[in-house]
Structure formats: C-alpha cells, structure tokens
Structure 1
Amino acid sequence: MTIEQLADTLHQTPTELIQLADRHIRTVQMWLCSRAPDAIRWEGLGVDVASTGLPVPILNLALGKRYPPETPEATIGDEIERVKAIFAERNVPWYWWLGPNPQPSTMSQLFLSHNLWFEPPALPAVLVPLPARPVDYNPRIQTWRAANMVDLETASTIRRLAYRFPEGVGSHYYEDMADDWLSSDSVRLYLGGLEADTPAVIGTSIQVDGVIGLYALATLPTWRRRGLGKALLARMMADAAAEGHRFAVMTASPYGYPVLKQFGVEHLFDYELYSLP
C-alpha cells in the first residue's frame, strides 16, 4: 500500500499523515527524555531539546522542527551552537533528529558546517493500520500491563540490558515516573514472557491528541528470536484497535522492521540522526 492509498483510507492527505506522525513522535520523545530527576527541556526557534542527563545518546535529544521561512542562516547557526553548548554543559552524548521536509532544506549542510555528522542508518517512521494484519506467535506467551512497582523495576532492567546501557544507567527509569505508568490510561507499559514470572520483553503505548503510538519495544538479549516481541506487539495493537484507533505510529529499528512488516506497517519517512564526531 502506498502512502497515498493509506492516507485515502484514513481520510487524510499524505502531507497531513506525515506531519501528524512526525508531531506525535517528537512529542513523545520530548516527554520520554524529560521524565527523569535531572532532566531539562529547552525550546528554540527550530528545535526542541530534552535531556535526561544520563550518558546515553537516545536519552538526550534535539528534535528538529521547521524553521520559519526566511530565517537568517546566522540565526540557525547560533541555535545549533546553543544546542551544542547545552549538551556540552551536561557532558552527555546526544542526537539531533532531522525529520521530514526540513525547513530550510539545507539543514544537513548547515549541520556539517557546525561539525554535526549524520550517523547512519536512518530511523524509519512507520504507521500500522488497525486492526493490524493477524500474525502467528507462540500461544504460551503471556502479556500484561504493568500494575505495580515490581513490574516497573523489571521493565527498567529489561530496557537497560536490551539497549546495552552502561552498568547502573537507567536502572530506575520507569520507577522515576511511576505515577505516569501506573495511573494514566493514555500512557501504558506492557510486559511479556513465556510465563508470568519470567518477563523478558517490554513495550509502551502512548496516546497524544487522540493518536496512539507504540514505542520502546525491548527484549532481553537471551530471549530474542523467540517471538516475544511479536506477541507483545500483537497485544498492544489489539488493545489500540479495540479502543477505536484506526492506526498507530511507530519508529522501526533495523532489527525490528522485518517483524513489523508482518503486521502490515507502511513506511512514512525517515529521521536522520546527527551527532558530534
């Protein structure tokens, strides 16, 4: 299915669909990177910054917006240097996400002139129509929503090990925002495992302005390629469809893309991630 066909099915224009997905993803990433005890946020003219202060690039982000037309190049350059200074002051690695149809179109060249380099591969943004395409997975796999602090502690451990964070980094990530994950219906944390007492996979669903997105799917390294991620995605997509959502927004890692394709996801655009050399 092309983006045009998908947009027509959802009664949107392709441009509206891309803008909606980009806005949702940036909003969620800002929120995820600002929910930590030492987190900061900063809003610029063409970029928003959120930083947990933890020494992991994906937890310290500059999320590019479109600069107003005819913004002087010098103004953009000053803002790029301001962002670099923010992260330098915090002494953390970071990424600048450049999204679809950047304004100005020369942003990648401006980054190079300020010693920011594209770090491949690009990060695809995808959309899955709901209900999703049925997939087969091990029926023994159990999935559930986080319901207590033990679930949150387990999820933090799974996330840290799956993403290979340095020892001790992000050890209390979900516990630090327990009220969000345990008390809000728009923010959900899911776990799964072959048995309820051996959770090995996590995922989140986050709703913003009536649009739902699925994020942070992570499986313990020793449990990969056993269908746990597929089962958890099926559960999250089924819950979203049951609540009337017609689609879900996601980003897709190179490892997860083949699994996502089984659910019928459609590629919308790519984010380019820039960083210091």
Structure 2
Amino acid sequence: MTYGLQDLLERMDHNLAEHACHLHRTHAPMTVEESADILISDSGLADDTFNIVARARFTEQTAAARIDDVIAATRATKRPFSWWVGPTSTPNDLSQLLVKAGLPASDPESAMWIDLNETVNPTADNVPQLRVDMATEPKHLVDYAAVLGHGWDPPSTTLPEFVTRTADAALLDSCPAHYLVGYVDGEPMATAEVFLSAGVAGIYAVMTAATHRRRGFGTSMMAAALELARAYDHPIVVLQASAEGEQLYRTLGFHTSGAYLEHPIR
C-alpha cells in the first residue's frame, strides 16, 4: 500500500468531506464553512444528504463547546444535517459525546479500501445487457438522479433539484467527480460515482433500480468504477459500506479499517 494506514484513513476522511462540499463552493446560496477543526456544508435544501458536518478535529478540552456551537449553527438554518464521524475524528469518543448531546447514531458503515496495484483482477463478471456510460451531458445526470433518488427510502425529491443546480460544475473536465450510469435497453438502471481527492478515489452512490437487483449489476458498476480509478492513476480506492455491502466489497479485495457513524441533526 502506498500510504501508511493512518495516512490512508486521513485521506479517506478528507475525500468524504470534500465530496460533501465541492459543488457547494461555487453555487450560492450553498455555503461551506471550513475551519481548522470542522467542515459544515449547507446546500440550502431540506435534505441531510447534501447538508454535512465532517472532519471534526476537536480536542478533549474544546469538544463540548464546539459540539454545542455546531449544533446551534446547523439548527439555526431550520434544515436537517448529518454529522459524519470517522476513524480519524477527534476526540476518540466524539460519537459518544454527540449521542450525549442528543444526536443518535446510525448503524456503522465500514471504512474500506483497496490498492489496485496489489490486487489481481479486482473486476466483476461482465453483464452483457448492461452498458455503462460516464456522464458527459445533462441527460446523463438526470438519469443518474432518477436511479439514485428512487433507490433511497423514502425516494429523494431533492436530488433532482440538487443535480439541476450543480450540473454545470459537475460536467466540467476539472470536476473531481465522475458519474457512471448503467443502462439496460436504453433505460437507466444503475449508478456509481468516482470522486478523486486527497490522492485516493472515493466510490459513492453504487445503486441498482429495485426492479433489476440481484442480477450482478452492482458488481459490474463497481468493476467499472475501479477501472475508472485505475485509468485516472488513482490505485488507492476507498468507500464507506453498509453491513450488506461490505460482503460484496470483500469479494472484490477490499479491506476494512474502522467505521463511520452518521449522527442526524434535526
């Protein structure tokens, strides 16, 4: 592995935080508040998918006061937020402190990584009926949002609006995000995203339409995402996985090193 484990986890956390805010930076009234010890990304939408608190670097002495500050600031917006706590968040008991402050924790998601230079053929079997395209025009992003939004429970009504607002930046050659859409007979049925930041490729939004699950589309989308990361010379690939997803990613050669917890702020 190119990086030491602690360095890798720091890069993973940076990738997640930047993924949460990179489109916000140039789309007012979206905002990004970033200091040495916290990042707060606010889309202006009433959806905690796009309103994120991340990269907490509090000390034991400052944690209680800073937690109160962040909760007050986010609640003042009257919009929901999600606070992500990862393996490098500090202090080490941050998640417990957030629970004490009234922010319950979700089920943990595994922090996973793979080094494509040390893995033999980390690809899935090809699914002939699935055509995978990288988004190069607004229609691709509309299709991406349709599949991903309907895959959430409940389905997202704000994802199409977010995609519409940010499509211009998302389709720039300089954008670190690369969106993949899987089509069956011309209809969008699966998604994945590859986000290049902090020297690693983050994999996000691996989703298959409910009508087409358990046909190998998810593994094929992951294979396409890994191939894209390799093509962009980012052999270290990271992701956050549910308990169900972790089993799939292990079969592709991913390792688990810690976990992420999501704390909703309502």
Q: What TM-score does the superposition give when structure 1 sets the normalisation length? A: 0.83
Query: Is the contact between residue 64 and residue 96 of structure 1 (CA under 8 Å) also seen in structure 2?
Result: no
Residues 165, 89 of structure 1: alpha-carbon distance in 2 compared, 3 angstrom cutoff: farther
Query: Is the contact between residue 58 and residue 66 of structure 2 (CA under 8 Å) also seen in structure 1?
Result: no
Query: Is the contact between residue 108 and residue 242 of structure 2 (CA under 8 Å) also seen in structure 1?
Result: no
- Let me know the Cα RMSD of the aligned residues: 2.5
Runs (5+) with no aligned partner, structure 2? none
Query: Is the contact between residue 11 and residue 198 of structure 2 (CA under 8 Å) also seen in structure 1?
Result: no
Residues 244, 166 of structure 1: alpha-carbon distance in 2 compared, 3 angstrom cutoff: closer
Hey, what does 1:266 align to over in structure 2? 255
SS in 2 for 1:118: coil
Hey, what does 1:13 align to over in structure 2? 4
Hey, what does 1:187 align to over in structure 2? 177
Tell me how far apart the structure 2 counterparts of residues 35 and 57 of structure 1 sit (CA, whole Å).
19
Residues 65, 168 of structure 1: alpha-carbon distance in 2 compared, 3 angstrom cutoff: closer
Is 48-57 or 162-171 further displaced after alignment?
Answer: 162-171
Q: CA deviation at 1:152?
A: 1.4
Query: Is the contact between residue 23 and residue 169 of structure 2 (CA under 8 Å) also seen in structure 1?
Result: no
Hey, what does 2:115 align to over in structure 1? 129
SS in 2 for 1:155: helix
Tell me how far apart the structure 1 counterparts of residues 157 and 94 of structure 2 sit (CA, whole Å).
36
For 2:103, the aligned partner's letter is L
Residues 166, 213 of structure 1: alpha-carbon distance in 2 compared, 3 angstrom cutoff: closer
Query: Is the contact between residue 14 and residue 198 of structure 2 (CA under 8 Å) also seen in structure 1?
Result: no
Query: Is the contact between residue 24 and residue 208 of structure 1 (CA under 8 Å) also seen in structure 2?
Result: yes
Residues 85, 105 of structure 1: alpha-carbon distance in 2 compared, 3 angstrom cutoff: same
Deviations 1:213-249 (A, max 9, x none): 2212222222222222211111121122234332211
Aligned-pair identity (%): 21
2:20 aligned with 1:29: yes
Hey, what does 2:68 align to over in structure 1? 81
Structure 2 residue aligned with 1:104, among 65, 72, 91?
91
Q: CA deviation at 1:32?
A: 5.6
Tell me how far apart the structure 2 counterparts of residues 253 and 106 of structure 1 sit (CA, whole Å).
22
For 1:18, the aligned partner's letter is L
SS in 1 for 2:127: coil
Structure 2 residue aligned with 1:254, among 243, 254, 260?
243
Deviations 1:43-70 (A, max 9, x none): 34532111223333332221142225xx
SS in 2 for 1:95: strand
Residue correspondence of structure 1 range 27-66 to structure 2 within 5 A: 27-31=18-22, 38-66=29-57
Tell me how far apart the structure 2 counterparts of residues 100 and 248 of structure 1 sit (CA, whole Å).
16
Residue correspondence of structure 1 range 95-244 to structure 2 within 5 A: 95-119=82-106, 121-130=107-116, 132-165=121-154, 168-184=157-173, 186-195=176-185, 197-244=186-233
How many residues are aligned here? 262
Tell me how far apart the structure 2 counterparts of residues 113 and 236 of structure 1 sit (CA, whole Å).
39
Query: Is the contact between residue 193 and residue 228 of structure 1 (CA under 8 Å) also seen in structure 2?
Result: no
SS in 2 for 1:41: strand
Q: CA deviation at 1:29?
A: 2.2
Tell me how far apart the structure 2 counterparts of residues 201 and 34 of structure 1 sit (CA, whole Å).
28
Q: CA deviation at 1:100?
A: 1.2
SS in 1 for 2:237: strand
Query: Is the contact between residue 34 and residue 52 of structure 1 (CA under 8 Å) also seen in structure 2?
Result: no
Deviations 1:169-192 (A, max 9, x none): 222332322233322253211110
Query: Is the contact between residue 32 and residue 42 of structure 2 (CA under 8 Å) also seen in structure 1?
Result: yes
SS in 2 for 1:176: helix
Runs (5+) with no aligned partner, structure 1? 1-9
Deviations 1:46-104 (A, max 9, x none): 32111223333332221142225xx62xx432322222222222222222111114432
Hey, what does 1:5 align to over in structure 2? none
Tell me how far apart the structure 2 counterparts of residues 125 and 137 of structure 1 sit (CA, whole Å).
26
Q: CA deviation at 1:270?
A: 0.5
